Amino acid sequence: MPTFMDFHDDLKLPAEAIDQIGQGTRDGAVDEFGVRQVELFHNADGKVYCLLEGPDEDAIRKHHEAVGVPCGDVHQVNGVL
């Protein structure tokens, strides 16, 4: 499955949302678009990077749209391992 990373510049996530995303990641949850959260990197300033697996960029965008989160640039990435 391809891996994608996107960035959100001003997305201050409440602790409950981070906990929910984390639980879904640990559970291996896959949404209706075939997208699975792999990791979420964030800080208190609202800088958020999402690392996701999904079939294509369109699915990643639909994943964000479904939860009301604007999605800017989406990049397909490869790991170093």
Cα Rg of the chain, angstroms: 12
58 pLDDT exceeds 90?
yes
DSSP class of residue 25 equals H
Q: What is the dihedral of CA 57, 70, 17, 48, to 10 degrees?
A: 80
pTM of the model: 0.88
Q: What are phi and psi of 54, to 5 degrees?
A: -170, 170
Maximal CA-CA distance, the chain? 33
- Domains (range + CATH), the chain: 3-77 (3.30.70.3090)
- 81 falls in which pLDDT band (50, 70, 90)? confident
pLDDT (tens digit per residue) in 19-48: 888 899 999 999 999 999 999 999 989 899
